[in-house]
Amino acid sequence: MNKREKFLSFSPPFIGKEEIEEVAKVLSSGWLTMGKKVFEFEELFKEYIGCKHAIAVSSCTAALHLSLIVCGVNEGDEVITTPFTFAATAEVILYQRAFPVFVDIEKDTFNISCSLIEEKVTERTKAILPVHIFGQSADMDPILEIAKKHSLYVIEDAAHAIEAVYKGRKIGRIGDLTCFSFYATKNVTTGEGGMITTEHEDWAKKLKILRLHGISHDAWKRYSDEGFCFYDILMQGYKYNMTDIQAAIGIKQLERINTFLEIRKRYWSMYDEAFLQMDELILPKINKDCVHARHIYAVLLRLEELNINRNQFIHELMRENIGTAVHYPPLHLTSLYRRMGYKKGDFPNTEWVCERILSLPLTPALKEEDINDVIFAVKKILHLYKRKKSFPTS
């Protein structure tokens, strides 16, 4: 078997004729921005999660930002999170002129190391912001306990974790606020989009005002057939609303969420089975008492067994026409955070993982043959660059 003929892109979205037809309906309806479809999507999402309130916004970044605002995070405050995440998680803390205080991750689950959180709590700490990395929930019980003890809010970055369940409790109704992403590569997409879930009614009301310029609740109707209405500006808000075009895609995606997850599970097992015997790889660990959302299948290279580093490995896979990704470069070692004083050696587990990790394609938009091509290419490269063990000659 030779290399694939066509490049396999890492994470194409799964869009069917259902989404296309639903978007076409919105386009010909005469109403494009936030309206009935957005509210319908919120209702369906609320039902899916089983939470009290769901507020649709333009992205998970917007969701995280508004969540910090309703928790009262302000200039000089501190928010605890991990450096093993996407830029957005910590960036929103900076939006509020507050400090992201990083805590290292566990080497096997890549989630925040709960035993290291409490020593980072100060008088300025306002919230803990765990990330359910790759779809596996962070260990929420100790996080909730620390938060309760020190009167902190818990805001969850669930961009990877729509389907996740933590010890029988659905992600989206555990912490104070949970933020989801519908970015193009995520398990459920609206192209761009996000959702906040919460059990607090007063926060839900405030979030709905904040997402549209701080103007009074029904202002979105101001051009509808219900007639022109004067509106009041209640507080400084943002342009963070979702549109009916996006919601139309989301409604159809949410209908197929379980089918998508089954396909992801199947591909995940194909990788697990194929790589089980490969000493050069460390495979992802799934906590038995939780439901994993299977967003990203990431393996670690055992560099001591190979004559090749991670970046070279990715390059070799590219030459085999297989697209991969790195989730993530260590956030604290990017220029921005170095300027805040973070440096190499600060988070040993994160740095160790970041040097070895790579993500393999895993989306229902791919075929089983595609997954087999990935497996074939990975095995071929591992075989080529396996470090030979030899006895000393003298």
Ligand X SMILES: *Cc1c(COP(=O)(O)O)cnc(C)c1O
Taking the complex as a whole, how short is the minimal distance between the CB of residue 227 and ligand X, in angstroms? Answer: 34
Compute how many residues bind ligand X; rule: CB under 6 A: 14
314 near ligand X, rule: CB under 6 A: no
**Residue with Cβ nearer ligand X (134 or 275):** 134
85 near ligand X, rule: CB under 6 A: yes
With beta carbons less than 8 A apart as the criterion, state whether 329 and 84 touch. no
Among 23, 49, 60, 300, binds ligand X (CB under 6 A): 60
Q: What is the DSSP string of 228-285?
A: -----B-S---B-B--HHHHHHHHHHHHTHHHHHHHHHHHHHHHHHHHTT-TTEEPPP
With beta carbons less than 8 A apart as the criterion, state whether 25 and 36 touch. no
**In whole angstroms, what separates CA 237 from the centre of its chain?**
25
Contact region with ligand X (CB under 6 A), list: 80-88, 198-206, 314-322, 375-383: 80-88
Contact region with ligand X (CB under 6 A), list: 85-93, 236-244, 253-261, 375-383: 85-93
Among 82, 109, 125, 181, binds ligand X (CB under 6 A): 181
**3-state class of 202 per DSSP?**
helix
With beta carbons less than 8 A apart as the criterion, state whether 139 and 55 touch. no
A 10 A CB-CB count for 372 gives: 13
Pattern 189-228, ligand X, x by CB under 6 A: -----x----------------------------------
Taking the complex as a whole, how short is the minimal distance between the CB of residue 142 and ligand X, in angstroms? Answer: 20
Pattern 117-156, ligand X, x by CB under 6 A: --------------x-------------------------
Taking the complex as a whole, how short is the minimal distance between the CB of residue 4 and ligand X, in angstroms? Answer: 27
Active-site pick, 37, 126, 170, 186: 186
Q: What is the DSSP string of 278-330?
A: -TTEEPPP--TTEE-----EEEEE-GGGBSS-HHHHHHHHHHTTB--B-S---
**Residue with Cβ nearer ligand X (60 or 114):** 60
Q: Interaction with ligand X in 233-252: which residues (CB under 6 A)?
A: none
- Which of 139-155 are b and which e, b meaning 16 or more Cβ less than 10 Å from the residue's Cβ? bbeebbebbeeeebbbb
With beta carbons less than 8 A apart as the criterion, state whether 98 and 259 touch. no
Taking the complex as a whole, how short is the minimal distance between the CB of residue 376 and ligand X, in angstroms? Answer: 28
159 near ligand X, rule: CB under 6 A: yes
345 DSSP 8-state letter: T
Taking the complex as a whole, how short is the minimal distance between the CB of residue 391 and ligand X, in angstroms? Answer: 47
Among 81, 89, 113, 324, binds ligand X (CB under 6 A): 89
Taking the complex as a whole, how short is the minimal distance between the CB of residue 176 and ligand X, in angstroms? Answer: 17
**In whole angstroms, what separates CA 66 from the centre of its chain?**
17
Contact region with ligand X (CB under 6 A), list: 5-13, 59-67, 283-291, 341-349: 59-67
**Residue with Cβ nearer ligand X (59 or 109):** 59
| C-alpha span between 272 and 297 (Å, rounded) | 10
**Please, which contacts does 96-100 make with residues 24 or more away whose CB atoms are closer than 8 Å?**
96/65, 96/68, 96/69, 98/68, 98/73, 98/74, 98/126, 99/124, 99/340, 100/337
User: 170 catalytic, yes or no?
Assistant: no
- Which of 206-225 are b and which e, b meaning 16 or more Cβ less than 10 Å from the residue's Cβ? bbbbbbbbbbeeebbeeeee
Among 48, 86, 166, 337, binds ligand X (CB under 6 A): 86
Contact region with ligand X (CB under 6 A), list: 27-35, 57-65, 308-316, 376-384: 57-65
**Residue with Cβ nearer ligand X (89 or 363):** 89
**Residue with Cβ nearer ligand X (67 or 373):** 67
Quick one: which H or E segment has residue 128? strand 125-128
Taking the complex as a whole, how short is the minimal distance between the CB of residue 134 and ligand X, in angstroms? Answer: 9
Taking the complex as a whole, how short is the minimal distance between the CB of residue 178 and ligand X, in angstroms? Answer: 12
| C-alpha span between 154 and 133 (Å, rounded) | 16
Residues forming the active site: 186
* Binding footprint of ligand X on the chain (CB under 6 A): 59-61, 85-86, 88-89, 131, 157, 159-160, 181, 183, 194
